[in-house]
Structure 1
Amino acid sequence: MNLLRQDDILFVTDSERVYDLEVQEDWQALKFTGFVNNWEYENIKAQLRKGKKDSAKMGRWSNGKPNYGYIYNRLERKLEIDEEKAKAVKLAFQMTIDGIGADNIAVKLNKLGYRTNKGKFFHSQSIVRMIRSDIYKGWIVANRLKGRNKTNGKIRPQDQWIVVKDAVKPCIIDEDTWDKANKALDKRLNPRAKMRKHGLSSLIVCGLCGRTHSVTIRSDRNNMRVIQSCRKRNPLGEKCTNGGIQYNTMMELIINNIRMKKDQIQLELEKLKDENETIDTTAIEIQSIEQQIKKVEKALQMLQLQLEEDLISVSDFKERRTIRSIELDNLQKELTKLKETSKEDKIKYKESFIEYLDHFLDNWSELDESQLNNELMSFINKTIWYHPIGNKEYREITID
C-alpha cells in the first residue's frame, strides 16, 4: 500500500471503484475495507478449521490429498482402496517386518514400476512415512499439527489430537501387521551400533554423491577400523562407486591437512601484519561477494519471470526460490561481517585460531573418541573423500 501510494499508482477494485491513495479519504476508506475483509477472512478460516475437526470426529477424511494406496470418494467423503497401489503398501509393510531396510524397500518398489502419488521414485524417507502413517490401519488422526506442515508447524500435545479408530473400512493393513512393522522399524532406526561414536563419525563425505561415509570395525581384519565404501544406491539400486580407506590412514591425512592449514593461516597473518601491504584483500573480497549478490538477485528475478510466463511449475519455482533466497541471505551476512571487521579483528581472529590448532595438534592423540570427534567438528565442516573404485592410484581429500 505504501509503495503504491509512493509511486502514484491508483488502486482499482473488482467493482471498478478507483482509489487514489494520495487522497486521505480514499486511503482511509481502503484501509478500513481491508480491515473488514481481513476480519471476514479470519472468521471463514475459523469456521473451516471447526468443520475439519467435526469431520474428523465423524470419521470423515479432511486431511487433503489421501495417502498412497487410497482414493478419496467425494460423495461419501470416505477413503477407498486403490487396489494396485495397495499391493505396493502391503509389500512395503511385509518387507519391513522381514527386517529389510527402507532404502532396499524403496529400490524394490521402484524396480517393480511403482511410483509415488507425484510420479516420482520412492526413497527411504517416503517408505518410513508410509510405515509410520496411522491411516493404513484405518485410523484417522487430525489436529496433530499447529501450522501448515511438519517443517513450519508445531506438533500439539497428544491429548489435543483427534483420533478416530476404524474410521477407514476396509483398510489396507490390519492393526497387528502395522504394529509388527513399526516395531521392526524401531529396531532398525535405533541400533546400538549407531550410538557408537568414532573420532571421524559424520565427517567423511563421498566426493561422488555427497553421502556421509560410515566408520566400522572389520572383525575379519583383526578388528581394524575402516572408512567404509560409499553405500548409497540410486532409486533403482545402482551402487555409488566411491571406495573406502583405512581409518588410521584417513586420520593421518586429516592431521597433515590441519598442519598445512595452520601454516597457511600463519603466512596470511604475517602478511596481514605487514605495514607495507599494498593489496587490500578485504576490498577484493567485498567486491567479489557484491558481484555474487547481484548474480543471485538476477537469478531470483529470472525465476519470477519464468513463473509469470508459465515456463516452470509453482512447486519448482518455490523450491528454486528457497535455495536462492538462502544463498542470498548467507552472502549478505558474509558481506556485513566483512564490512564490520577491521584489520585488528582479523589479526586477533587468526592468532586465536592458530593457537587453537596448535593446542589441538599437540593433544589430539590423548583425547577419547567422543572428545576427538567434538574437537574436529568444532572447526571442520566436512571432509570430502574422492577415491573411485577401480582406480587405486587416484585419491583426493578436500577439507572444508
Structure 2
Amino acid sequence: MKAALYLRVSTEEQASGGHSIEAQRQELIKYCTAFDYKIYDFYVDAGYSASTMDRPALKKLLAHCNKYDVALVWRLDRISRDMADLMKILEIFTSYHVIFKSKTENFDTSTASGKLMLNMLGSFAEFERSSISERIQLAHKKILNEGKWRGGKPPLGYEISEDKTLKINEDDALIVKKIFDLSANKNMGTRSIAIHLNTLGYFTRNHKPFTSSSIVRILKNPTYYGEMIHKRQQYVKRNGKKKIVYSDTYQTFKGFFTPIISKDLFCKSEENMNRRKKNRGTSSKIPNLLSGFLFCGDCKEYMLRNRRKNGEVFFTCKNYKHYGKCTHHYISENVVMKAIKKSIPNIEQSKSMIYEMNKKLVEEKEHKLHTIENEIATIQDSIRSLSRRKDKLFELIEREIITETDFINRKKKLSKEKEAKKTLLNKLHSNLNTIKNYQGDKNFMLSIKSFNNKFDTLSFYTQKELLNRIIERIEVFDNDQPYARKKIHIYYKI
C-alpha cells in the first residue's frame, strides 16, 4: 500500500530549526517500515497553523488522493485542530477510499471504532486550540493594560521602543498629520488623499504608493489619538479559509505613549468619512456584463465598475482610481454597449473580409498547434526523467550511499523542478485546448446573427455568454479635447 506522509509545525521557529519536522519524519518512516507501506511522498507544512485548511501541503495532499492508499500523520492535531475542517478532510479521504491513520493515536478510519475514536480526539484537539486562544487573549489584555504594544508591526508614524512601548517616528508622523488634516479640515476623500500624497512623492512603510484602502486604515485607527484597540479584527471561517472582518464592538486601552493627533481631529475626520459614505454609490452586487472585456487604452489596466445613486453604471481606469497615475477614462456602460451594437451590423455586412481573416487564422492555428505539441512532448520527457531521478534517490538512501540531509535537499530540489514543469505543462495544455476549440468563421457569424436578432431579449447570463463568444477585448482611450466622447476600440474573436 502507498502511504502519503503529512508533517506540520505551527511556528516559523520550529520550521527553521527543523527538529519537530525531522522527528515526525523519522517516526513515520519507521511506522511505514513496520507495516510494509511504500512511501508515496512527504507533504510538509512548516510554519502553518492547524486552525485553517489554507495550507499549501495540505491542499496538495487532498489533490493527490487518487495516488495513494493511506494518509499517515504523527498525531491527529498535525492535520487539523478544527472539528469542521477535520470532517471535510475525512469526507475527501473517504470519497477516494483513502485510509487515515495516526502513528501515536490508536485509530484507523477503515473501522467503525476507529471513526468513533477519531471524532473524540478531534473534539479534544479543537478544545485544546480554543483553550490556547483564550490564554493568548488574556496575555494580550495584560500587555495592553500595561500600556505596551502587544506585537506585530506598529502603525505608520510609530516605532517600538526597547521597553515595548510606542515612540513617534517624526518623519512618518508628518505624513499621518497631513492625512488627518486633509480629511478633517479640507474634507478630502480617501482616494483624493492617496493621489495627493503619491503626487508629493510619499510612500507607505512598505515603499508602495498610497491607496484609498491604506488611507482608510489610518483614518480608522484610534492608536493615533492615544488608545490601543483589542479584537477589532476578527476572523471568520469560510470554506476552510480565514477572512478578516472588522467589528464595531472592539475594546480600547489607554496607551502610555505620545499621541500624534487629538481625539477631536480624529472624530471630525470620521464624521466627514461617514457623510461621504452615505452619498457615494457602490460597486457590489451589480451584474457586470463587461467584466473581463473593458481595459484602459493608455495604460492597459482593467477598468473598475461603479454605480451612482441614480442607478447609472460607469467604469474608471484602475490606475487613475487607485493612484491617480492615468487619465480619467470615466465612461458609462450604456455608451460602451451602444458602440458594440453599432459596430456588429458592420461586421455581418463585411463577410468577404471575415472569410479572408479566418483563412489566415486557420493557417496560424495549425502552426501554433504543431509548436505547442512539440513543447508538450519535450516537457513530458523531462518530467519522466525527474521521476526516475527521484526513484533513484530512494535507492541511494536505502543503500546508505547518501545521508538523510542530502536525500531531503535533493528530493526538495527535484520536487520543486517537477512542480515548475507541471505548471508549464498545464499552461501549454490549456493553450492547446483554447486553439483546438476555436470554432472558426461559421460559428462566429452565427453568434453575430444571434446578437443582432435577439440580444436585448436574452437573460443576463445568456448575454454574457454571447459577448464572450464574439468579443476578445475592448479598450477605451481618452479624447484630447475636454468633454469629448471617448474613443472605443473593439477587438472581436474572428
For residues 325 and 181 of structure 1, what CA distance do their matches in structure 2 show? 52
| CA apart distance, 1:62 | 2.9
TM-score scaled by length of structure 2: 0.47
For residues 112 and 94 of structure 1, what CA distance do their matches in structure 2 show? 15
Match of 1:144 among 220, 223, 233: 233
Give CA-to-partner distance per residue, 1:345-382, whole Å, 9 cap, x none.
877x99887655434323557899x9999788766575
Report if the CA contact (8 A) 1:227-1:244 is conserved: yes
Q: CA RMSD in A?
A: 6.4
Match of 1:361 among 424, 429, 452: 452
| CA apart distance, 1:115 | 2.5
Report if the CA contact (8 A) 2:305-2:315 is conserved: yes
Q: Secondary structure at the match of 1:62?
A: coil
Report if the CA contact (8 A) 2:474-2:491 is conserved: yes
Residue pairs, 1:226-375, within 5 angstroms: 232-233=319-320, 239-240=326-327, 251-252=338-339, 255-257=342-344, 260=347, 284-285=368-369, 287-288=371-372, 291=375, 331=427, 334=430, 357-363=448-454
Q: Does 1:92 align with 2:179?
A: yes
Report if the CA contact (8 A) 2:336-2:488 is conserved: no
Report if the CA contact (8 A) 1:230-1:240 is conserved: yes
By relative contact order (CA 8 Å, sep 6+), the higher-ranking structure is 1
| CA apart distance, 1:119 | 2.7
Name which of structure 1's ranges 239-248 and 170-179 shifts more when overlaid on structure 2: 239-248
Residues paired across the two proteins, number = 336
- Residue type matched to 1:205 in 2? F
Match of 1:104 among 192, 217, 221: 192
| CA apart distance, 1:65 | 1.0
Q: 1:113 to 1:258 in 2, by over 3 A?
A: same
| CA apart distance, 1:244 | 7.7
Q: 1:367 to 1:178 in 2, by over 3 A?
A: farther
Residue pairs, 1:200-239, within 5 angstroms: 204-209=294-299, 210-212=301-303, 232-233=319-320, 239=326
Q: Paired residue for 2:387?
A: none
Q: 1:121 to 1:382 in 2, by over 3 A?
A: same
For residues 367 and 158 of structure 1, what CA distance do their matches in structure 2 show? 42
Report if the CA contact (8 A) 1:206-1:213 is conserved: no
Report if the CA contact (8 A) 1:205-1:383 is conserved: yes
Residue pairs, 1:66-81, within 5 angstroms: 66-75=154-163, 77-81=164-168
Report if the CA contact (8 A) 2:198-2:323 is conserved: yes
Q: Paired residue for 2:88?
A: none
| CA apart distance, 1:66 | 1.0
Q: Paired residue for 1:321?
A: none
Q: Does 1:133 align with 2:221?
A: yes
Q: Secondary structure at the match of 2:178?
A: helix
- Residue type matched to 1:85 in 2? D
- Residue type matched to 1:35 in 2? W
Give CA-to-partner distance per residue, 1:220-279, whole Å, 9 cap, x none.
xxxxx99999695599966539798997588335641586389699969x99xxxxxx98
Q: 1:253 to 1:356 in 2, by over 3 A?
A: closer
For residues 185 and 247 of structure 1, what CA distance do their matches in structure 2 show? 30
Q: 1:99 to 1:198 in 2, by over 3 A?
A: farther
| CA apart distance, 1:48 | 7.2
For residues 385 and 366 of structure 1, what CA distance do their matches in structure 2 show? 27
Report if the CA contact (8 A) 2:476-2:489 is conserved: yes
Give CA-to-partner distance per residue, 1:179-237, whole Å, 9 cap, x none.
432343344456455679899877642112225288999xxxxxxx9999969559996
Name which of structure 1's ranges 97-106 and 173-182 shifts more when overlaid on structure 2: 173-182
| CA apart distance, 1:68 | 0.7
Report if the CA contact (8 A) 1:56-1:164 is conserved: no
For residues 198 and 119 of structure 1, what CA distance do their matches in structure 2 show? 35
Q: 1:48 to 1:110 in 2, by over 3 A?
A: farther
For residues 65 and 145 of structure 1, what CA distance do their matches in structure 2 show? 17
Give CA-to-partner distance per residue, 1:69-96, whole Å, 9 cap, x none.
1212342x33233233222112212212
Q: 1:116 to 1:336 in 2, by over 3 A?
A: same
Q: Does 1:165 align with 2:252?
A: yes
Q: Does 1:154 align with 2:243?
A: yes
- Residue type matched to 2:476 in 1? W
Q: Paired residue for 2:137?
A: 53
Q: 1:239 to 1:399 in 2, by over 3 A?
A: same
Q: Does 1:383 align with 2:474?
A: yes
Q: Secondary structure at the match of 1:146?
A: strand
Q: Secondary structure at the match of 1:399?
A: strand
Report if the CA contact (8 A) 1:66-1:72 is conserved: yes
Q: Secondary structure at the match of 1:205?
A: strand
Q: 1:66 to 1:246 in 2, by over 3 A?
A: closer
For residues 326 and 185 of structure 1, what CA distance do their matches in structure 2 show? 49
Q: Secondary structure at the match of 1:139?
A: strand
Report if the CA contact (8 A) 1:213-1:230 is conserved: yes
For residues 161 and 181 of structure 2, what CA distance do their matches in structure 1 show? 27
Q: Paired residue for 1:35?
A: 74
Residue pairs, 1:384-399, within 5 angstroms: 384-386=475-477, 389=480, 397-399=489-491
> Structure 1: where are the runs of 5+ without partners?
5-12, 218-224, 272-277, 299-323
For residues 157 and 199 of structure 2, what CA distance do their matches in structure 1 show? 18
Name which of structure 1's ranges 98-107 and 197-206 shifts more when overlaid on structure 2: 197-206
> Structure 2: where are the runs of 5+ without partners?
6-17, 43-71, 82-124, 383-419
| CA apart distance, 1:35 | 2.2
Q: 1:116 to 1:387 in 2, by over 3 A?
A: closer
Give CA-to-partner distance per residue, 1:279-313, whole Å, 9 cap, x none.
89589548538849989xx9xxxxxxxxxxxxxxx
TM-score scaled by length of structure 1: 0.55
Q: 1:38 to 1:353 in 2, by over 3 A?
A: same
Higher strand share: 2
- Residue type matched to 1:53 in 2? Q
For residues 341 and 321 of structure 2, what CA distance do their matches in structure 1 show? 29
Q: Paired residue for 1:312?
A: none
Q: 1:229 to 1:155 in 2, by over 3 A?
A: closer
